[in-house]
Every structure is written in C-alpha cells, then in structure tokens.
Amino acid sequence: EWASSMADCVQEADAVILAVPWDAFKTLTPDQLKNGGRGVMVLDCWRQLSPAQFEPVANYLNPGRTPKS
C-alpha cells in the first residue's frame, strides 16, 4: 500500500529512513511521527533534520555524526 504523502507515510511508521536529500523531508517534525516520535527510529542519511528536535523523542541516527555521551 502506498501513502499519498510524506505525512501519511510517517504517521504509521515504526522507522523512517531519509535516504535521498529531497527538500520535502526538511519539513518533517516529531509531531508528524507515530506517537509523537516516541519509539520511532529515524535514520537521517543526509542530516536534513534537527537533532535537537528529534533526539529527545525518537531514536535519531545520522551516519558520520558522533553520538551524544
């Protein structure tokens, strides 16, 4: 089943992988994620999202970035 928009897709997803650097993904907010991001894995391969917004509520990862201690 295909989602009609990014918002429709992420609101039911347990994991979100941003694998392409499309500008549309820059507008993603934790509120759009399932459960407000709680328990959702977000893999941001292009570092388009704000870690400050996503780290408190989601399992936010972006390759090449040093993890918080």
Residue 68 has pLDDT above 70, yes or no: no
Q: Vertex 26, ends 1 and 49: CA angle to 5°?
A: 105
Closest to 18 (Cα-Cα) out of 2, 1, 27:
27
Q: Is the pLDDT of residue 60 over 70?
A: yes
Q: What is the pLDDT of residue 69?
A: 57
Task: Please report the pLDDT score of residue 64 as a whole number.
Answer: 83
Sign of the CA dihedral with 25 first, then 34, 19, and 65 last: positive
Structure tokens at 42: 């977000």
